[in-house]
Structure formats: structure tokens, C-alpha cells
Structure 1
Amino acid sequence: MVTSSTELVSADHAEFACICECQSIDRDAVVELHRGFFSDQPSLPSKYFYDQSGSELFDEICELDEYYPTRTEASIMGACVDAMVEAIGPAGRLIEYGSGSSLKTRLLLEHMHADVTYVPVDISGDYLEQVAEKLRLEFPRRRIAPIAADFTRPFQLPSSRARQARDVVYFPGSTIGNFGPAFAASLLSQMRNQVGTGGGLLIGFDLQKDPAVLEAAYDDRRGITALFNLNLLRHLNRVAGGDFDLKGYRHIALYNDRDHRIEMHLESCHEQSVTLAGRTRTLSKSERILTELSHKYTIDGFTEMAAASGWQREQIWTDTNEYFAVGMFRS
């Protein structure tokens, strides 16, 4: 049985306290999981992809032949880094949302002034600290100040050593596309509020293209993306009291042409009951759990969305195939 959203939100505090005490998620996360998984269309937050194993699997995905976004964005940055650094200007803090391995950021750090404080923000704290230590060795003159946090919620920034310098959010990888239009706009507004008037945003976003290219990128021949998708269930088993049987699901990736987005699902191979964060539901055979959205944009469409959140476009860089774009915006 699927419990109604009203019942979920009004669950008593004692139940939440018990769940949160036994697991490593907070009350807000329990509400979020219940609202998604126990809805008519079950879904799970894509942020739970990124524990240590998930972050490492994503690094493998970025090396796949089919997965064009990482290498395409890296090629754009390699060709245009001087123009990007000039557009960024004398940043006091470079704040990277969802930093992961910070591979593309290294190129920026090599070219930016020494006083910049690099603030990588990622939900996977252990992995984040490993990456930060490597960066400190590579860039001993840079201040590296990692923050383990869910960047979709407000978080406190460290102090800056630079005076009279603006803050710049760096959001590569088209991660913005993982959110629906309303939430993406809200997140852009949060970034704008964080950096204030005159702040900057350097952001990568994926462009609309042949659906066959898109579907191959999210369903590779080696099955790494499938492992990445299933790891979300393993992570939730550990941190949210889940009892998902990973052998009972298969990876699905398809392009939704109407909404211009890739959808990733986990499809139930048979009827099964699942407990998550203290509640249980039954999944029928072939019922799908939505795990990720990846919206694809036009340059003008993305510019309009950014403008509605207080960002004005300064410059756009793209590759020769126009598969991907990196944009500089000012608040």
C-alpha cells in the first residue's frame, strides 16, 4: 500500500527521531524520501547516487566513449579557459556546487590568481576530503576549503582572503539539468542570493541533440551507468533503512522528447515489497522508480531561465558540434 503524502508529512516526531537515530539521514531527508518513494510515481532523489562508491562509478562513466558531456565540456574549457578566467575576474571565492573529483576545476585553478579561495561543495564528505587533500598538494598556494553539504539547501561559506573581489559559483557538468524547471530556477536564485549583486556564475549545460546519442550516453555498453543507478539503492539501504534487493531491478534510460530530457529509472523485475525509512510499499512487476532527470536545453531557453532567476548572460562557449555549452552570467 502507498501511504498518502498527507499522512507522511504529519508522521509523529517520535517516529522520525527513531529513524534518524538509527540511520544517518535527518528528518527533512526522511520527509523527502517518503514524498518521493511513496507517491503514485515512485521516485528517489538523485543526490543519493553520490556516496564513495557512487562518486567513483561516476568518474568511470566520465571516461566512457558514449558519455560525451565530460570530455566535450573539458574540450571547451581547454580551448577557452583564458577567456573564462578573464570573464570571472578577480574572484574572492570560487564555489563549486557538486564538485565530485574537481577535474575541470583544476584548469581554472591553474589560471586564476593566487588569492582565490576554492570552495568545493559535495554531499559525499569522505570522497570530498580525499579530493581536497590531492588539490592541496597540487596547488599549495591555493586555499582549499571543502564543505560537505547538500548544495540544494543553503550552506555557510568560509571567509575569503581576497579584498574587493566578487564570489563566483562554478556549476559544471550540466548538473542543473538534473532538476525540474521550477527547482532549477529556485537553485539559480539561491546561487544569485549567495554571491550577491555583481557576483558571477560559470555553468555548464547540455544541449538538445539526436536522442540516439543521448540514450547511448546514459545506457553504455559496459553497464557502468547501470551499476551507478543500482548503487543508489545500496546507498539508501545503508543510510535510510532500505531493504532493496539490487538483483530485483534493471536499469532503464530513455529520452522524453516532449520535455527534452533523459529519464533514468529502475524497473522492478517482479512484484516485491520494499521498506525505506520506516515505511513499506509494494512494487508491481515492471513498475519503475524514477532516479534521475537530465534536461537538455537550447542556449536561448537556458538564458531565459537564468534571467528569470536574476542572472544576465555575458558570454557562451560551445563545441563545434554544439553538443554542450558553458555560460558566464552576472547577477
Structure 2
Amino acid sequence: MLTAAWPVRRHASGETGTALPAFVDHHVHAHLIDVHALPGRGIAGAIDLGGDPTALRRLSPGLPRLAFAGAFLTVPGGYPSGRSWAPDATVHTVTDPSAHPGVPGGARTAVDAQADAGASVIKVALNADAGPVPSDAVLSAILHAARERGLPVVAHAQGAGQVERAVEVGIAALAHTPFDASLSRRLIARAVETGQIWISTLDIHRGATRQRAIAYLGAFHARGGRVLYGTDLGNGQLPVGVNRRELLALQQAGVRGDALVASLTDPWPAHTGTDAVRSFLAGPAPTDPDDLATWLSRAIVVPTEELTRVD
């Protein structure tokens, strides 16, 4: 029995089934997908983790309920500058650790630009495998400015030492489960201790890298780490909507039952869930826990007012 599940009947059709809180994909890139197709395929809320803040603000009303980070904060030549999928407006270059507003290239200026556009989280690129990364001074200044604006910071942490940096400086969330070749149990335990969140994005990987990420996420979850479902939708050939493969990989990592549902329905960072809609699934939850991921992948988004509890 799933704790958050309600047995319900749909008014219009008389169909009985199960209602759960609204499902959220905690890592998408709206400019690379048809974001408006998400509700028809089970996703009521989404978090854009790297896009043009002006364009994202225009997308925010309606469904999916969209929260966003705005542009990637990076340094000259840093990830994802120059990528074909990352137009100029999706990248904001920081050259100065200045805490003063309005300084060209300043850390405070970069954070303010995203926050003033409506960002609910700040995204910083710590991808040392793809170019230079922010210095300690710049990173600290970004974190300080984000705290002053009341916003958590999420990082793309990749390459030697970057996950360690993200943990030790107090990055609130990792945009991807770590997948580098060496991640110690001590570091994973430290990430849990600091309250860091890991967004799954397991299905973007294949082969040994995928298995490594699943193992890391399993160790993180087993120690009590907070795991959120996220797909990096827009990165490669991923299904638009609830991704069964992502859910199966989460189950393989030990995120099962109520924990799997919680990863899908967590409203972090900015109430991306909504009481106005529910995730509806035909019939009761499966009795075999191994079947839960497949069942959840069949969810549709239904207005709450169309549902009546029948228990």
C-alpha cells in the first residue's frame, strides 16, 4: 500500500483508479522539448535546469507548472558555452566574485539576473571535464548571493574533485547523480549529512557509467539521502513524459515503494506540485513492488475536482 495513494473515481467516465500527488520531472531543458506535451504524458510539474530566463518566464503559467534556474552560471570557456544546444541566452558568464549588484561579470549580478527573472533555483556549472570551472572565490560569491535571494543552488558536478567541492561548499542539490569513476563511501555519507539532494538522471547513461551511477545513488539512498526523479529531458532520445526506464533504474538503486513515489512528487524547489491536479492511474497499485515503476509510468494528469475518493 502506497502511503500517498487515494482510491478514486473519475466523474466523467466513472473509471476507478488511484490518485497520487502531481508528478514532477526535476531536470528538464524546455527549449529542447515540447514542454506542453508533458501533462498529457503524466508530468504536471517540471524544473528547467538551464535555459533562457526571459523565455522561461513566459512559459511559466499553466501546466506543466514550471520552475526554473535560468541560465547556467559558468566562467569564460566553461561548460556549456559554445554547445549547439546551448544558445547564448542559456549561459551567463561570471568573471568577478564581486558581491555588489550591477558589476559587469559579477557573481551577484549573475544571481540577481536569474532571480529577477523569476528563478526558483540557481544553476552553476562545475564540469571540469568540459572546460574551466568557477574558482573557489567565484563559487563562494555565487552561493552567498543566492542565499541572500533565498534561492538554493544546484550544480552540474563532473570531473576530478567537483563532487567533493559541491558537497563541502554546501551546494543544495546535484543536477545529476554523480557518475565519475571514483566516489568514496565517505564522500557519499558526507553528502547525506549535509542534506544534499541528488536528482537521478540515470537513463542518460549506458553501460558501465550507468551501473556506476546506479550504485552511487543506491549508496546515497541507503544512507538516507534525498533522491528526486529527474531525467535531463532534452538530452538525447528520452521519452517526453514519465520515463519508465528512469523509474526502473531508480528501483534498481533501491528507491522503491513510497520512496519512488516521493522522488516523483517532491515539490522542491518551489512548489512545482499543485493541489489543482493529481496523477491518476487506472486500477489499484500493483501488489508486486517490482511492477510499480511500470504502473507509475502510465500516469495521466487529471484535475483534482474530477476525482472523488471512494475508500
TM-score bracket for this pair, using the shorter chain length? under 0.3
Relative contact order: is structure 1 or structure 2 higher (C-alpha 8 Å, sep ≥ 6)? Answer: 2
**Greater Cα radius of gyration, structure 1 or 2:** 1
Q: TM-score, normalised by structure 2?
A: 0.27
Q: TM-score, normalised by structure 1?
A: 0.26
